[in-house]
Amino acid sequence: MNKEMTLEGAVAELRDGMTIGVGGWGPRRKPMALIREILRSPLKDLTVVGFGGPEMGMLAAAGKAKKLIYGFVSLDVIPIEPHFRKARQEGRVEVMEIGEGMVVLGLEAAGHNVPFLPTPIGLGTDVLKNNPELRTITSPYDDGEVLVAMPALKLDAALLHVSRSDRLGNTLSFGPDPYFDGMMARAATRTYVTTEELVDSIASKNREDLKDNAVERCFISGVIPAPMGAHPTAAHYGYGWDLEHLKTYAASAAEDGGWQAYYDRFVAPGEAAYIEAVGGADAIRALPLPVL
């Protein structure tokens, strides 16, 4: 029952062409240590699903992502993720651009093991025009309402970042919002979790914390100790997002060879070197929390 793994071990279980869901929201609680390990790996042709942040831009810039499915891809204070924007405008990735609510419904459908869920979201918009694979369905009841049939977003793997985990796969996500990480896990065949703190039992410190357990351990395939593994995104209540580093990353999208220079400096040397390159553990933990 010990689900402890390494970053390398988790990524070694992924395969080319998989559909991968990435938890978090924009620049908040993204499993960036796992994303960097994917960037260092030979994986390719991935379909990436989520409420996008730097993970989508990085995977697109590195040529790892074949398709992106999202409601948005943003660094929040930098409204559109710059490397995503560049890949999108140059046509280097396929996209499924849908409403945030449609992403939620697609994950819920997969978690409930049904092929689609009906919704009015998208009707009367260019969502249907720009995504011709979407279909409508007529209600079988007397109302006869026409709705969008949002297809299930079935994931081969989900990648999440949490505040604390135990080796059995129980997790705690502290902060004001669990986002949709639980839906990601239930929509996935396997779920890998990086954690700020790995303990023998999540109930060992404070049983009141158990209310922050957003997903049952049966859905968790592996837990990976990765302190500061969400950087440069925020990990409530551990640290805020690193705006200066996000600006450095964003600026690289406008430079010739900018992505390769960023990769060579921050990603290629490995996680320990990454932490030092961005200022060290103390500097990360001192980052102010964003006001939500």
**3-class secondary-structure state, position 241:** coil
The verdict on domain 7-98+154-199+211-282 having CATH code 3.40.1080.10 is yes
Closest CA to 97 of 87, 88, 105: 88
Q: 220 CB contacts (<8 Å, ≥6 apart)?
A: 3, 165, 169, 170, 171, 185, 191, 193
Domain spans, the chain: 7-98+154-199+211-282, 116-151
This prediction has a pTM of 0.96
pLDDT per residue as tens digits for the range 89-132: 999 999 999 999 999 999 999 999 999 999 999 999 999 999 99
Q: Do residues 220 and 166 lie in contact, with contact meaning Cβ atoms separated by under 8 Å?
A: no
pLDDT per residue as tens digits for the range 13-26: 999 999 999 999 99
Closest CA to 231 of 269, 276, 191: 276
Q: Do residues 6 and 37 lie in contact, with contact meaning Cβ atoms separated by under 8 Å?
A: no
The CA distance from 45 to 52, in Å, is 18
